[in-house]
Structure 1
């Protein structure tokens, strides 16, 4: 995809999700051919000319002012995360920033932190969620990912293509949506990222569900969340993730447990062997 079109793609996706009634416009008689708002309706709501708005969607104007972006965000009823994404896209496209290479090694301080938090499962991820490092509990929490070659280990690839993921994450659909929404925020900061283009191209081809979510264009910043795991080695456990982001974009992610059985399960996770599932039939996933 051309960097000049990413801003327009986002605007089109957003106006397609807003109904006239949501912004106080009459639906009118007959069937609307355009889902959501028409271009002229968005332009009127934002106080810009229809021609100017069309140029934005077509990538022929890539330097809108902050006032115009704020007006568009209000017209399209964007969330704070979506508004931030709109601003990021506009800056990135206007600056023509070249896609930068992702760091290939975890920061030394984050590696130390991985050991310090044990038996809490911990990971170091880059912006597109490549697994740069993990403690033993972290690798075992993502059951089966250790069987992949290190360069293939990516949290989002795991969610959409590993057969164990749909069992490990009880709310797999929610996890999948969060992963794709995160990738859209990455695109906003660096539309030309070759790592992002390679990953999204691969997953669109490998997973119809990923392709559908990517086309839906949901934007949401990754934040801590409660997740329920149905783990083949230690059973059912509820964990809360915490995310720390370093200046270079590397993320430290830890899944913590409240005192009680869930915390005991994490201690067990650090002790069980990778090939000795104690609940269910997790061993089969290690062979895939």
Structure 2
């Protein structure tokens, strides 16, 4: 008998079956063809999409048995050289490469601390800075995409998170469970998929977070989009970009977004939304801010 978690299953011996690692490697195998990897192809129908396990093992220079144990999350003390070889074989990008390390070799202290996480608290200086950004929509997101703090312009731009129950002050729940989010964000799909990717990166760093299974499970049950994208294990590290809004008060506007992470708190992220001075988007944002201040 076993119990399921986003990071895998716990068997009767108390061993972690690393489902996140297994599914991540399977999705990466599936997206590569033998031709992509420079391997000869044999006639006939392949039973699996993409590369077979033995093909990845050959490309990485390890035995098939070793790679199978690694993919199942059963290969402990895997070396840097093997992980690097697997990353090259699967043609992983830098973010995926780092994620592979997090899944295959989780830091014991990180996982131990994740299992007994106290409520996340903001440093007073961050909250003070947020309150002083009157002309810029800004919010601070924490673990599991929780909205820890939001200023007045951001509340009007998105939704009044402070008025929601504490458990619903979460960007992922807002995007996937609030119908208004789909009309408020013109590129809702892009924003939602980036949010799923961020949750996957978080899951790699904190596989034993006791609250993560509930969030992932709820969103998987209530949103077909979330369930499908979560299964694809897409990964992105979005530090900057743009977001297009359709706001009932000021119409359509496109804002640049920047993300900042304190070096001593990698699970806290400050998000700022700005517009070019003198642009129509800036005028719309100024109008929104004036409404928020009135």
> Normalized against structure 2, the TM-score is what?
0.87
Q: Which moved more, 1:227-236 or 1:262-271?
A: 262-271
Q: Does 1:83 align with 2:97?
A: yes
Work out whether residues 147 and 161 of structure 2, in 8 Å CA contact, stay in contact via their aligned partners in 1: no
Q: Does 1:252 align with 2:270?
A: yes
CA distance in 2, matches of 1:242, 1:96: 27
Which of 241, 249, 264 is equivalent to 1:233?
A: 249
* Secondary structure of 1:238 counterpart: strand
Deviations 1:23-70 (A, max 9, x none): 112332111111110000000000000000011122221321000000
Structure 1: stretches of 5+ with no match in the other structure: 277-288
Match of 1:284 in 2: none
Q: Which moved more, 1:4-13 or 1:52-61?
A: 4-13
Superposition misfits of 4+ residues, deviation over 6 angstroms: 93-96
Which of 191, 214, 227 is equivalent to 1:175?
A: 191
Identify if the C-alpha distance between structure 1 residues 180 and 46 changes in structure 2 by more than 3 Å, giving closer, same or farther. Answer: same
Q: Does 1:204 align with 2:217?
A: no
How much does 1:145 deviate?
4.5
Match of 1:123 in 2: 139
CA distance in 2, matches of 1:94, 1:62: 12
Work out whether residues 138 and 153 of structure 2, in 8 Å CA contact, stay in contact via their aligned partners in 1: yes
* Secondary structure of 2:149 counterpart: strand
Q: Report which structure shows greater RCO (CA 8 Å, sep ≥6).
A: 1
CA distance in 2, matches of 1:27, 1:140: 56
Work out whether residues 152 and 292 of structure 2, in 8 Å CA contact, stay in contact via their aligned partners in 1: no
How much does 1:224 deviate?
1.1
Match of 2:35 in 1: 21
Work out whether residues 153 and 292 of structure 2, in 8 Å CA contact, stay in contact via their aligned partners in 1: no
How much does 1:147 deviate?
4.7
Match of 2:83 in 1: 69
> Normalized against structure 1, the TM-score is what?
0.89
- Show the 5 A alignment for 1:7-18: 7-18=21-32
